[in-house]
Amino acid sequence: MVVNYYEVKNCRYEIYDNCPVLFPPDDTAESLLREYGFVKLIDGRWCKFLSVTEYQHILHGNVNFDISYNPLKYTDSENTGNNRFSNILSILSLICFAVGIEPFLVMSFTPVFVFWGFAIALVIAARVITPKNIFAKVLSILYIIVGIIITILIIILIIACQHMCDSCINAFNDCHIPG
């Protein structure tokens, strides 16, 4: 197949080392090849390794790259981060998180861990469905930060309880009971 790559006309499209490439005609000026990103192979031939969007442009039957070539036209619209189902899962995870944190205020840990687990599972599902979803990404970062803070607070609480128990035991040992 012959492809016109901007000012480098009549390039041969081939697969070289499992990569789509363009080979320019032998009489093309070296300065023009360098300007458009062509590289010289070990065997002395010049070639242009195509990007994914350039490859998709050719797969759509377009053999001309010119000013009208728009690489954004060939991006994956499914993976732009605006998937409605993923956003719904993220909102549900936020609701589970809020419902789980509310009992935390009255110190009932079982519902906290159950709803926290649901929230994390839903946000992971949202991230798996659309990895570039901004809302799910922000929520997952928020959950990680809150998880780290809760872990630190629990460690501090355990250390404080141990310190209070040690001081009670020491106070009891210092106490002399007449007998």
Dist. CA 62–CA 6, nearest whole Å: 12
Is residue 38 one of the residues assigned to a domain?
A: yes
Determine the average pLDDT of the residues in 123-146: 83
Where does a domain end: 75, 101, 132? 75
Name the more confident of 88 and 151.
151
pLDDT at 24: 93
Where does a domain end: 11, 41, 75? 75
On the question of pLDDT at 101 being above 70, the answer is: no
Dist. CA 123–CA 126, nearest whole Å: 5
Residue ranges making up the domain that contains 17: 2-75
Contact 129, 83 (CB under 8 A): yes
Average pLDDT, the chain: 79
Dist. CA 35–CA 38, nearest whole Å: 8
Name the more confident of 74 and 112.
112
- Domain count of the fold of the chain: 2
* Cα–Cα separations (whole angstroms), residue 101 to 94, 97, 146: 10, 6, 11
Do 169 and 89 share a structural domain? yes
- Quickly tell me which residue has 């687990």 as its tokens: 117
Put simply, whether the predicted model's pTM sits higher than 0.85 gets the answer no
